Amino acid sequence: MPPYEDKLKQITREELITNKLKLVYQEIKLKFNFIDRISLALYDAECDTLTTYIHCTSNGDPLSLYQSRLSDSKSLQEIAKTGDPRIVNDMSVFDSVKKRHSDRIKKYGFKSSYTYPIYNKNQFYGFIFINSTQLNAFTDDVLEQITPLIHLIAAFTVIEFSIINTLTSTVKTALVMSHHRDPETGEHLDRMARYSRLIAMGVARQYNLNDETIEHIYLFAPLHDVGKIAIPDKILLKPGKLTFEEFELMKTHTSKGLEIINTILDNYQLDGMQHTAILRSIILSHHEKMNGKGYPDGLVANEIPIAARIIAVADVFDALTSKRPYKEAWSNDEAFAELKRISNDELDADCVDALLKNRKVIERIQSLFVDSE
Phi, psi of 123 (to 5 degrees): -95, 130
Q: Which long-range contacts (CB under 8 A, 24 or more apart) does 245-254 make?
A: 251/287, 251/295, 251/296, 252/227, 252/296, 253/225, 253/227, 253/228, 254/227, 254/283, 254/284, 254/285, 254/286, 254/287, 254/295, 254/296
- Whole-number minimum distance, CB 197 to ligand SIN, in Å? 4
Does the protein bind ligand SIN through residue 289 (CB under 6 A)? no
37 interface partner picked from ligand C2E, ligand SIN, Fe ion, none, CB below 5 to 8 A per type: none
Peptide bond into 296 cis (omega under 30): yes
H-assigned helices in the chain = 17-31, 74-82, 100-107, 140-178, 186-207, 211-220, 233-236, 244-251, 253-267, 276-285, 306-321, 332-342, 349-356, 359-368
Using the minimum distance from each CB to Fe ion, give the nearer residue, 24 or 250.
250
How many Å apart are CA 196 and CA 310, to the nearest integer? 6
Q: Which of 123, 54, 135 is nearest to 87 (CA)?
A: 135
Q: Could you say which residues in the range 176-205 bind ligand SIN, by CB under 6 A?
A: 194, 197-198
The residues in 31-60 that bind ligand SIN, with binding defined as CB under 6 A, are 47, 49
Q: For residues 148-177, which are near ligand C2E according to CB under 6 A?
A: none
Residues 254 and 230: beta-carbon distance below 8 Å: no
User: Applying CB under 6 A, does 73 fall inside the site for ligand SIN?
Assistant: yes
- How far apart CA 252 and CA 6 sit, in angstroms, is 49
Binding mask 313-332 for ligand C2E (x = CB under 6 A): --xx--xx---xxxx-----
Q: By three-state DSSP, how is residue 267 classified? A: helix
99 vs 251, which CB is nearer to ligand C2E? 251
Q: Given the complex with ligand C2E, which of 107 and 241 has the nearer CB atom? A: 241
Backbone angles phi, psi at 61, to 5 degrees: -110, 125
According to CB under 6 A, which one of 227, 287, 311, 313 is a site residue for ligand C2E?
287
The count of residues interacting with ligand C2E (CB under 6 A) is 15
Minimum CB separation of residue 75 from Fe ion in Å reads 39
Interface region with Fe ion, contact rule CB under 5 A, candidates 103-111, 163-171, 221-229, 345-353: 221-229
Annotate each residue in 106-145 with x if it binds ligand SIN (CB under 6 A) or - if it does not, as one string.
-------x-x-------------x----------------
**Cα 249 from Cα 238, distance rounded (Å):** 13
# residues near ligand SIN by CB under 6 A: 19
241 binds ligand C2E (CB under 6 A): yes
Binding mask 281-320 for Fe ion (x = CB under 5 A): ----------------------------------x-----
Rounded to whole angstroms, what are the CA distances from 133 to 29, 61, 206, 251?
13, 13, 30, 55
With CB under 5 to 8 Å by kind, the binding choice for 179 among ligand C2E, ligand SIN, Fe ion, none is none
**Interface with ligand C2E includes 99 (CB under 6 A)?**
no
Q: Which residues bind Fe ion (CB under 5 A)?
A: 225, 315
Residues that bind ligand C2E (CB under 6 A): 238, 241-242, 250, 287, 315-316, 319-320, 324-327, 338, 342
